[in-house]
Amino acid sequence: MSLRGKLESIDGRGYKAYKSIAGAHPLGALELVVDHVQADPFAAPSRARIRIPWHRARLPAAALSGEPRRRATRDYLGRAFRCAAREDEALAIDAGAQTVLERSCTVFEDDAIELRFTVALPARGRTIQGRRAAGILCDRLPDIAEQAAVADDLDLDALERHCAAVEDQVALRGQLEGRGLFAFVVDGANLARRSGVDDRPLADGIAFDSPDSLRVTLEAPNAGAVTGMGVPRGITLVVGGGFHGKSTLLNALELGVYDHRPGDGREGVVTADDAVKIRAEDGRAVHGVDLSPFINHLPYGKSTTAFSTELASGSTSQAASLQEALECGVAHLLVDEDTSATNFMIRDERMQALVAKADEPITPFVDRIRDLRERLDVSTVLVMGGSGDYFEHADTVIQMHDYLPRDVTAEARAVAADHRSERRREVESELERPEPRPLRTARLDASVKPGKTRVKVRGTDTLVFGRQDVDLRAVEQLADSSQLRAIGLLMQRLHESGGVLEDPVAAARALLAEPVTAWSRKPDGDLARPRIMEVLAAINRLRGP
């Protein structure tokens, strides 16, 4: 019996009769696969896939030339499905927002393009509306799928712009290391966002314009030569008055580790792909972290070489985040004084005079920032508006004024020379990159009872993992809730390894080398690739032994 026939035959029956439509159904040249049927009309929507054969799609060769373009094309097709289905509230697809991530909503199989979506099967109360469901799945869905994936129905110019933008960003980011750059911000970029909860560009944002002394030219395969501000490796301070754009610039650099869609305003902002924002995070859990380079000599002789707490202070949490980032192999740090613990960042000469170093366990970041650069080859971009004690360490100083950058490196050095600080450097040991900490996989158990696990997300803020709500509000470079879903699945996969992982970073990297679609045993359409740093950040914030 055809799908339409099945749906019409169960019209008016109890909702559980929808279970009969699970499986594959031909829809003309296309194929619908219903993977999961919701238990009742109030449950999470049903999951399905529609497959469009390649000979039907006939996508242009340029859209499939190289992995950056293939990823961009998959992203574009998912967005095209969402756009085509916007009038049908029953259909939804996890197609992302401003970033272009590797996602599982669009899959290129050998024989077909597969679009993975959800459908809320209609009912009146708990009574099936079979004819209405047939209209959704048999009539409108094939049209939507063809609008989303068949070349004859696509805006091919927009598809090419999407592919070109992503390919250019990948190429620009790939040039950073060879040019000695931490990041690049193209001239004309629009960095300002509509609000703290709306990541779309501000309509009247000020166009970025690099100072001449920092302007560099990079080559993009589609845009050609592009000019903008090169943020050098080393120690870069971003200074300026309040509300002049310091944090706006830093936020753009934070998300410059990802590619952005055309029109976002930041599609010419690229950052080294391992860059990590570190910050204070009062109340987070810390497990066995060597804090001794930053916190030592605690009262009563408590050691900090393998420090654990369920309720870290601001300075302790920031030191832990830094050490955890170094443990992941990170070579680029982003820091904003607004989200930092003051006593972790600086201890001025007056406080040194009042409280002896013997009575102060914290070695402030200002005394380690040069060690990070010289001993570990770790570069830092630091937003600092309240302390000039960093001037003498800075390689580059950028002042943001009316949302535009100025190179004030020479002026900052002159200030440092004319107003010498009397504070003493408070370092007692050499800085070393921390070794990986073994991880007991039993900590990664998502079970809520025998045979039942729970992995859910609330936006990008919370991962519900088993009986825990893992607070990730301070992990600011999570760009999409689908990354968080993927992290939950990856944690489950690590749990299945059993025993103790001597090098959890290497184990997580091995899983991340797999395709996104390999992480789930079901054809999930709501996963996106996270970075290794965010995977480990979630693991590090689990509570309990």
SS3 sequence of 225-244: EEEEEEEECCEEEEECCCCC
My answer on whether 233 and 310 are in the same domain is no
pLDDT band per the 50, 70, 90 thresholds, residue 484: very high
Structure tokens at 426: 């408070």
Which of 112, 151, 159, 139 has the alpha carbon at shortest distance from 27?
139
User: Is residue 250 in some structural domain?
Assistant: yes
> pLDDT tens digits, residue range 257-290?
999 999 999 999 999 999 999 999 999 999 999 9
DSSP string, 53-68: EHHHH---GGGGSSHH
Q: Of 244, 270, 296, at which residue does a domain stop?
A: 270
Range of the domain at 447: 439-540
Instruction: Give, in degrees to the nearest 5, the angle at Cα 157 between 153 and 158.
Output: 85
My answer on whether 10 and 144 are in the same domain is yes
> For residue 201, is pLDDT > 90?
yes
Q: What's the whole-number mean pLDDT along residues 435-443?
A: 96
My answer on whether 251 and 303 are in the same domain is no
My answer on whether 305 and 408 are in the same domain is yes
My answer on whether 90 and 200 are in the same domain is no
> For residue 538, is pLDDT > 90?
yes
d(Cα 72, Cα 160) in Å, to the nearest integer? 9
User: Is residue 308 in some structural domain?
Assistant: yes
Which residue reads 């314009």 in tokens? 209
DSSP string, 385-413: SS-GGGGGG-SEEEEEETTEEEE-HHHHH
Q: What's the whole-number mean pLDDT along residues 217-239?
A: 98
Q: Of 124, 154, 184, at which residue does a domain stop?
A: 154
Kindly give the interhelix angle for 314-327 and 532-540, rounded to the nearest 10 degrees.
Answer: 140
Q: Catalogue the E-assigned strands of 140-293.
A: 181-186, 193-195, 198-201, 215-220, 224-232, 235-239, 269-271, 276-278, 286-289
> For residue 300, is pLDDT > 90?
no
My answer on whether 374 and 473 are in the same domain is no
> For residue 413, is pLDDT > 90?
yes
> pLDDT tens digits, residue range 160-180?
999 999 999 999 999 999 999
My answer on whether 42 and 14 are in the same domain is yes
My answer on whether 256 and 287 are in the same domain is no
Alpha helices (H) in 381-480, listed in sequence order: 409-418
Q: What's the whole-number mean pLDDT along residues 486-502?
A: 97
Please list, in sequence order, all residues whose beta carbon lies within 8 angstroms of the beta carbon of residue 16, skipping any fewer than 6 positions away.
Answer: 39
> In the prediction, which pLDDT does 508 show?
98
Which of 267, 273, 98 has the alpha carbon at shortest distance from 174?
273
My answer on whether 55 and 105 are in the same domain is yes
User: Is residue 162 in some structural domain?
Assistant: no
For the purposes of burial, counting CB atoms within 10 Å of the CB of 23, is it exposed (0-12), middle (13-18) or buried (19 or more)? exposed
Share of the chain above pLDDT 70, in %: 100
- Give me the number of domains the chain comprises: 4
> In the prediction, which pLDDT does 68 show?
98
> In the prediction, which pLDDT does 524 show?
96
Please list, in sequence order, all residues whose beta carbon lies within 8 angstroms of the beta carbon of residue 67, skipping any fewer than 6 positions away.
Answer: none
> In the prediction, which pLDDT does 123 show?
97
> For residue 544, is pLDDT > 90?
no
Q: Per DSSP, what are the bridge partners of residue 226?
A: 218
My answer on whether 529 and 444 are in the same domain is yes
> In the prediction, which pLDDT does 543 show?
95
My answer on whether 325 and 448 are in the same domain is no
> In the prediction, which pLDDT does 69 show?
98
Q: Of 154, 180, 209, at which residue does a domain stop?
A: 154
> For residue 192, is pLDDT > 90?
yes
Kindly give the interhelix angle for 156-175 and 67-84, rounded to the nearest 10 degrees.
Answer: 140
> pLDDT tens digits, residue range 521-535?
999 999 999 999 999
Which residue reads 């450097």 in tokens? 425
My answer on whether 31 and 96 are in the same domain is yes
Structure tokens at 115: 């679009």
Q: What's the whole-number mean pLDDT along residues 443-449?
A: 96
> In the prediction, which pLDDT does 301 show?
84
> For residue 75, is pLDDT > 90?
yes
User: Is residue 510 in some structural domain?
Assistant: yes
